[in-house]
Structure 1
Amino acid sequence: MTTALTHLSRVLAGVLADAARETGHRIDTNTAVSGLEWPADVLATSSSRRPTILQVAPPAADSEEIRAHTAQALQHGLDIVWFTPEAHDPLWLPRVPAVRVSVPARPGEEWTAQAAVQRLTAEVCTCGPAWGHGAHRAWALPEPVPLAAVLDALLAGRLVHATVQPDLPGRRFTAWARNQDVRAEADHLRTLAASTRELTDAAKASTPYIPLPEGRPAAPLGRLLEAARRWARHKTGVVCHIEIASADWMAGGFAVTPSSRPPGSALPQVTALVRPLPHEADWTSELGTVPVLVGSPEEYFTLRHTAPAAAQILIL
């Protein structure tokens, strides 16, 4: 298996060089680069942008090595994008600018970038009149894109990777996104936050969107409740379920509760509350002590406008 992947890696490096050359860049292959302790598989340079290394990750690459090489390239004024022909996402893939490619089934067919680029979409709000957001913006699940098209956009600077935007408020894309979509989301979130005068740390660090397994319904509320169950399972270590809230302090939200409580457990009766109604929320009650889970930046800011600074509101 390793031998086959090594061969694929060499083939992929050649494909990257040819595709990058088609974009009009000068290409150097397997070349030493000043300041780097390792050769660049493909170094793409042009007169309008700083050089970019297109590097094929070795089979079973170590995450720390990948991140160290990435940091070294950036420190020397070079952009770097990693590529892997592995069939499944390696652990390091979401932590650096990277693309997983799919090998064509037959010679001459296109190489494809798997789950590489996400689009910003808008959908009519279905949260009900109590919320009144108008529309939700969300990042669509990434779709396969021809590798040549991704390279053309990457080398022209038309794509932004999630890892190089640490301060972007409400960042929710997890791969690559178009510059105009990234700007549109940032502007949208700043508009939502305008009445609070500043963007909060919770919005800046909003958690990535967690897609449902294939075959499961993806309606906004169903998606949020499923994400809430998984969040609670990770948080408490036990299986949790969703109940229709009955207590007044829950403000019409959905309660996330442990399905079982081990003897002597210190787990709270209510692990979290999902989407309480903003016009009914009394933050001086127990609501102010329970994590509140919402499904979008729109919901986050609608609640944040009325909540005290100490309230814990998380976007799933």
Structure 2
Amino acid sequence: MATALTHLPRALAGVLAATARESGHRIATNTAVSGLDWPADVLVAFLGRRPTILQVAPLAADGEEIRAQIAQALQHGLDIVWFTPEAHDPPWLPHVPAVRVIAPARPGEGWHAQAAVQRLTTDACTCGPAWGHGIHRAWSAPEPVPLAAMLDDLLAGRLVHATVQPDLPGRRFTAWARNQDVRAEADHLRTLAAGTRELTDAAKASTPYIPLPEGRPAAPLGRLLEAARRWARHKTGVVCHIETASADWMAGGFVVTPSRRPPGSALPPVTALVRPLPHEADWTSELSTVPVLVGSPEEYFTLRRTAPAAAQIHIL
């Protein structure tokens, strides 16, 4: 297995070069580039656009090395996209423009980009009459696509990576998305934010979307409650459970509490509140000090309209 993995980067570089060439692009392979301390695996030149480097990540590369090479490329007017074999799962992968690639299982089959592209979808609102949004916009789970098709869209400028997007609440896609979907979401968020106070730094730091494990149901409320449990476990370090709210200040939401609080523990009795009702929320109460968890940008902006700037509202 180790030997096969060692040979994959070289094979992958050849596939990237051949695919880009077959799409009609001018390329250079394993070439020195002015200003860079390392050779570009595949350098793609465009007329009137910044060149793009398609680079296969060394198996031993760490995040610091990857980020340094990205900064160097950008400084010299080059875009860069990293590729790595499916069996290699480095910790830096979600944080840079990168693609995990699946090698063909049998001769003659094509290469695929694993969990690469997300779509913006619209679903009827199921939050109940108190929310009254009509529809929700949401990002699909990352879908695998043929590597040739993804490279064609990527080199044509039709794909955008999540890491290069503005840090706006509700921006939940985690991989690559089509430009028109990114623009549609941005327009939607601007509409939602209209009439609200200027977004604060705390609002911009909203928790990103937490996907469900594969095979789990994704009903809007069920997905949100499961994500809330995992969010609370990450924050507290202990298993948390969810129960129906009883106190008036909880505004009809669901309460997330630690399943156990050891004697002398500093854990608060309420870890978070899930989806309180906007028309019942009293932000002068304890609600102002408890993290509030919601499931969509629509819910975020509905609550943000009346909440104080310091309120902790997170999108899961």
Q: TM-score range by the shorter chain?
A: over 0.9
Distance 2:263 2:70 in 1: 48
Distance 1:39 1:12 in 2: 16
Q: Which moved more, 1:56-65 or 1:249-258?
A: 56-65
1:88 offset after TM fit, Å? 5.0
Q: Which residue of 1 aligns with 2:221?
A: 221
Q: Which residue of 2 aligns with 1:72?
A: 72
1:307 offset after TM fit, Å? 1.2
Over 3 Å counting, the alpha-carbon distance change for 1:151 and 1:188 in structure 2 is same
Distance 1:287 1:85 in 2: 46
Q: Over aligned residue pairs, what C-alpha RMSD do you find?
A: 1.4
Q: Which residue of 1 aligns with 2:240?
A: 240
| Within-5 A mapping of 1:189-204 | 189-204=189-204
- How many residues end up aligned between the 2 structures? 316
Distance 2:162 2:266 in 1: 37
Distance 2:7 2:237 in 1: 42
Q: Which residue of 1 aligns with 2:127?
A: 127
Residue 182 of structure 1 pairs with residue 176 of structure 2: no
1:122 offset after TM fit, Å? 0.5
Distance 1:244 1:263 in 2: 25
Q: Which residue of 1 aligns with 2:25?
A: 25
Q: Which residue of 2 aligns with 1:58?
A: 58
Distance 1:211 1:309 in 2: 27
Distance 1:204 1:297 in 2: 12
Q: Which moved more, 1:84-93 or 1:143-152?
A: 84-93
Taking structure 2 as the reference length, the TM-score comes to 0.96
Distance 2:65 2:279 in 1: 50
Over 3 Å counting, the alpha-carbon distance change for 1:140 and 1:199 in structure 2 is same
Residue 275 of structure 1 pairs with residue 270 of structure 2: no
Over 3 Å counting, the alpha-carbon distance change for 1:88 and 1:57 in structure 2 is closer
1:5 offset after TM fit, Å? 2.0
Q: Which string of whole-angstrom CA distances, capped at 9 and with x for unpartnered residues, describes residues 250-284 of structure 1? A: 01000000100011011111111000000011111
> Is residue 169–residue 297 contact of structure 2 (8 Å, CA) maintained in 1?
no
> Is residue 82–residue 98 contact of structure 1 (8 Å, CA) maintained in 2?
yes
Secondary structure of the 1:287 match is: helix
> Is residue 253–residue 276 contact of structure 2 (8 Å, CA) maintained in 1?
yes
Secondary structure of the 2:190 match is: helix
Seq. identity, %: 88
> Is residue 116–residue 144 contact of structure 2 (8 Å, CA) maintained in 1?
yes
Over 3 Å counting, the alpha-carbon distance change for 1:176 and 1:277 in structure 2 is same
Distance 1:188 1:86 in 2: 34
Aligned AA (1:7): H
> Is residue 258–residue 271 contact of structure 2 (8 Å, CA) maintained in 1?
yes
Q: Which moved more, 1:17-26 or 1:144-153?
A: 17-26
Q: Which moved more, 1:214-223 or 1:36-45?
A: 214-223
Distance 2:310 2:37 in 1: 47
Over 3 Å counting, the alpha-carbon distance change for 1:23 and 1:202 in structure 2 is farther
1:195 offset after TM fit, Å? 1.6
Secondary structure of the 2:195 match is: helix
Secondary structure of the 1:100 match is: strand
Over 3 Å counting, the alpha-carbon distance change for 1:167 and 1:245 in structure 2 is closer
Distance 1:304 1:205 in 2: 14
Aligned AA (1:154): L
Q: Which residue of 2 aligns with 1:173?
A: 173
Distance 2:241 2:103 in 1: 41
Distance 2:229 2:88 in 1: 25
Q: Which residue of 2 aligns with 1:14?
A: 14
Q: Which moved more, 1:54-63 or 1:119-128?
A: 54-63
1:200 offset after TM fit, Å? 4.1
Q: Which residue of 1 aligns with 2:315?
A: 315
Aligned AA (2:244): I
Aligned AA (1:119): R
> Is residue 113–residue 144 contact of structure 1 (8 Å, CA) maintained in 2?
yes
> Is residue 200–residue 309 contact of structure 2 (8 Å, CA) maintained in 1?
no
1:166 offset after TM fit, Å? 3.4
Distance 1:157 1:12 in 2: 21
1:213 offset after TM fit, Å? 1.5
| Within-5 A mapping of 1:105-116 | 105-116=105-116
> Is residue 73–residue 79 contact of structure 2 (8 Å, CA) maintained in 1?
yes
1:202 offset after TM fit, Å? 4.5
Distance 1:215 1:231 in 2: 19
Over 3 Å counting, the alpha-carbon distance change for 1:241 and 1:130 in structure 2 is same
> Is residue 5–residue 87 contact of structure 2 (8 Å, CA) maintained in 1?
no
- Long gaps (5+) in structure 1: none
Q: Which moved more, 1:36-45 or 1:301-310?
A: 301-310
Secondary structure of the 2:233 match is: helix
Q: Which string of whole-angstrom CA distances, capped at 9 and with x for unpartnered residues, describes residues 147-170 of structure 1? A: 011111111111111111134553
Aligned AA (2:248): D
Distance 1:211 1:304 in 2: 23
- Long gaps (5+) in structure 2: none
